[in-house]
Copies of this chain bind each other. A is one copy, B any other.
Amino acid sequence: MKILITGGAGFLGQRLARELLARGCVKDPHGAPQALTELVLLDVVRAGDFGDPRVRTEVGDIAERSVLERVIDDRTAAIFHLAAIVSGQAEADFDLGMRINLDASRLLLETCRQRGHRPRVVFTSSVAVYGGDLPDVVQNDTALNPQSSYGAQKAIAELLLNDYTRRGFVDGRVLRLPTISVRPGRPNAAASSFASGIIREPLNGETAVCPVAGSTRVWLLSPRQAIAGLIAGLELDSAALGNQRALNLPGISVSVDEMIAALREVAGDEVAKRIVREPDARIEKIVGSWPGRWDTTRAERLGMSGERSFADVIRSYIADEQVQMR
């Protein structure tokens, strides 16, 4: 089976690639395991190929038709479309966000349509599609009312994927991801960057800035469970999703104060003290528009699970990333 990952050089893309290669098999649309024979990683920078002969790395601008035509052919059985401009950057540069989050997503679907073989497409959406006047617990049928350009672009791409699926051009699945925490590496331009930074930097002996109030409630998922959710999303029986292809992935609802308390529990007071509070109205406005919790009945019925405690999430991060606590 040939699989494409867009955003293949990114954190989730690389981690997903590693997991797919390790599993070696992916279920086909009939539920039968098929050997992974070729994994194409497309990104604007060259992705790591793990020295694995099954991996092909491609560099290109995903908003260009010729690039997508190079990486999608009629043997491409599945596509994980992860490439995106993150929330903070899409808010700062409207045109860039529209080009990558909307135009490139449409072009990807359109390329599949032209190929005519109806591949499975897993599209990652976000908490940011919700916003405005929200119930305490967002339901699967709560209306999308994004309050950021990133969220609007993701919501539009969801609608496109639904319609391209309904018309039989692709077999699409939308996974709405909670905020991923704890991400390794460095801060990025996502408004949610702090949700990893306030754990990661203190564990590395560095100061971290917390730009939102301690009472801010966030909906989090660990990288480990996010990757499991993406693969489960691909392997889901298409009929189980019916006429609404979007699935809210399970997560854990914690306040920022509870996140810091969990860090204290796992790593001690010295580490937790490295968080400095510096409210940033721009970030508070975006993050505050997202839901702090959503109903996960549908995803759980389809066999997906979230996290039990945020302290466990921190422990997984320390184990997976071999963090040397300072």
Q: Which residues of B contact A76 (CB under 8 A)?
A: none
Q: Which residues of B contact A146 (CB under 8 A)?
A: 159, 162-163
The minimal Cβ–Cβ distance linking A44 to chain B, given in whole angstroms, is 24
Closest B residue to A91 by CB, please name it.
Answer: B167
Q: How far does the alpha carbon of A118 sit from the alpha carbon of B152 in the complex, in Å?
A: 20
The minimal Cβ–Cβ distance linking A169 to chain B, given in whole angstroms, is 9
Q: Which residues of B contact A243 (CB under 8 A)?
A: 131-133, 145, 147
Interface residues on A, range: 20 to 34
Q: How far does the alpha carbon of A159 sit from the alpha carbon of B152 in the complex, in Å?
A: 6
Q: Which residues of B contact A144 (CB under 8 A)?
A: 143-144, 159
> Given contacts A131-B243, A132-B243, A243-B132, are A155 and B159 in contact (CB under 8 A)?
yes
Enumerate 13 A-B pairs (CB-CB under 8 Å) in ascending A order.
A132-B243, A140-B143, A141-B142, A141-B143, A142-B143, A143-B143, A145-B162, A146-B159, A147-B243, A149-B167, A152-B160, A152-B163, A155-B159
Further 20 A-B residue pairs, CB within 8 A, beyond A143-B143, A144-B144, A145-B243? A132-B243, A133-B141, A133-B243, A140-B143, A141-B142, A142-B143, A143-B144, A144-B159, A145-B244, A146-B159, A146-B162, A146-B163, A147-B166, A149-B163, A152-B159, A152-B162, A156-B156, A156-B159, A156-B160, A159-B159
